[in-house]
Amino acid sequence: MALIRVVLAEDNALLREGISRLIEAQGDLELVGVASDLPELLELVAEHKPDVVVTDIRMPPTGSDEGIQAAAWLREHQPTVGVVVLSQYTAPAYALALLQEGSAGRGYLLKERVAGANELAQAIRVVAGGGSVIDPLVVDELVRARASRRKSDLEWLTPRESEILAEMAQGKSNGAIAETLGVSERAVEKHSNAIFSKLGLSEERDVNRRVKAVLVYLSAQSGG
């Protein structure tokens, strides 16, 4: 069985040592490089061509989102390299930034919940194979944030737009909606486009945006 080559990036010396030992204890993983900042990490990737990068989310030089920057750089320049981001933050923005170009080969784990070698090692194996691993607490935050956004978006709809969306959720065509509400079909089209715009669906194909608008509506009706 081929070894999975790993590069680790972590600026905290104690954590770096501990994670290094966790990785080295696994028979199928090989730690080929250790970095303490983003520039050093990218140099090690170029030198060793690892299968997976395990990186802290915040490192020098700025201590902001270097782990996310590294993942984005790898997606563009070394797309076959998997990335496991270790973070102490459940904030949805970090996870969304990591996954915005796709979840394949990406992992997002919370440091406090990586209790031992098994969780981390399994995540490394999964992303090395092109899969994804996201901590359940982060998934919960993403769902809550999405539900909150849906509700706030619906609040922007006018009473007439809300009526039309409710009719749309029943599977009615524009013509049927116009007949039910006693308005012209052209008016329904105008209101529908306004609904799509307010829900951020303006660029979607017509069938897709009708379906997605209805899903937003139904999600809000069921409490998110």
**Domains defined for the chain, CATH in brackets:** 4-142 (3.40.50.2300), 156-221 (1.10.10.10)
What count of residues does the chain have? Answer: 224
SS3 65: coil
pLDDT, tens digit (0-9, with 9 covering 90-100), for 164-187: 999 998 888 899 999 999 999 999
The pLDDT of residue 84 is above 90: yes
Q: What is the pLDDT of residue 222?
A: 57
Q: What is the pLDDT of residue 221?
A: 67
Q: What is the pLDDT of residue 6?
A: 98
> Mean pLDDT of all residues in the chain?
87
- For the full predicted model, state whether its pTM sits above 0.85: no
Q: Are 87 and 57 in contact (CB under 8 A)?
A: yes
SS3 136: helix
Chain position carrying tokens 């501990």: 18
Q: What is the arithmetic mean of pLDDT over 120-139? A: 92
Angle (nearest 5°) at CA 147 between 92 and 218:
150
The pLDDT of residue 223 is above 60: no
* Residues whose CB falls within 8 Å of the CB of residue 115, separated by 6 or more in sequence, listed in order: none
